[in-house]
Amino acid sequence: MNATAAKLLVAAGDLMIERNSTEISLSEIAQKSGVNAALVKYHFGNKDGLLLALLARDAQAEMATLAFVLDQPISPTDKMRRHIAGIVNAYFRVPYLNRLIHLLLHQGSEATAKEVHRFFVAPLFGFVKRLLEDGIATGEFRKVDPALFYISLNGACDHLFYGRQMNTHLIGSGGVTDAVRRQYIDHMTKLILGGLLTDKQAD
């Protein structure tokens, strides 16, 4: 990618992290990157184009990780462990990732929303659906609705990174440190795989 275009993406991502929000303007991005606002249009066409490129840059690693995990010669249970850790790590690295997807789906043009589904949501959901099917087939997993599972798992993992303010009160003023990240992976893994009850009475 062109150096100027890359600079713009760096500025956009940094702004989203600083503001803890996806609501940033093209002029703010231009100002932060030191790049002339007119070059945004030149490189990306419009804001949707820039945000899509940002998503592509940031989701790349997560999707590659997911595909890699699924290809390993290990049990579905172990793949799910790695997948849960992978999601938490992806949101730790890119705290605005989930919200950026929702922003583009909701506020972007119809063409943009279609691209987001085609290149990100559908493949990510497809991976999870396949993993669940594999685990159900081996008898390791209960039958769960893949869409509801995908929605609840991503919502739970993302929420730790949503609000620094809420976390400060609940977790402590250190915020989401690397130690908290590892605690959350451990928490989410045990909760999702084993649930809250000591005795399986849920059904």
- Residues near a copy of itself (CB under 8 A) are 20-21, 23, 77, 80, 101-102, 105-107, 113, 117, 121-122, 125, 135, 139-142, 144-145, 147-160, 162-167, 169-171, 183-184, 187-203
- In whole angstroms, the minimum distance from the beta carbon of 109 to a copy of itself comes to 12
With 0-12 / 13-18 / 19 or more C-beta atoms within 10 angstroms meaning exposed / middle / buried, residue 155 is exposed
Q: How far is the CB of 133 from a copy of itself (least distance, A)?
A: 13
Give the count of beta carbons closer than 10 Å to the beta carbon of residue 148. 9
What 3-state class would DSSP assign to 137? helix
C-beta of residue 104 within 8 angstroms of C-beta of residue 55: yes
In the complex with a copy of itself, the residue whose CB is nearer, 41 or 117, is 117
CA distance 144 to 102: 24
| Minimum distance, C-beta of residue 148 to a copy of itself, in the bound complex (Å) | 4
Q: Are 118 and 52 in contact (CB under 8 A)?
A: no
* C-beta of 18 vs 68, nearer to a copy of itself: 18
Closest distance of CB 141 from a copy of itself, Å = 5
Residue with tokens 């849960």: 84
Contact in structure between 70 and 132 (CB atoms under 8 Å): no
- Which CB atom, from 5 or from 85, has the smaller least distance to a copy of itself? 85
Judged by CB, which is closer to a copy of itself: 12, or 185?
Answer: 185
Q: Which CB atom, from 41 or from 159, has the smaller least distance to a copy of itself? A: 159
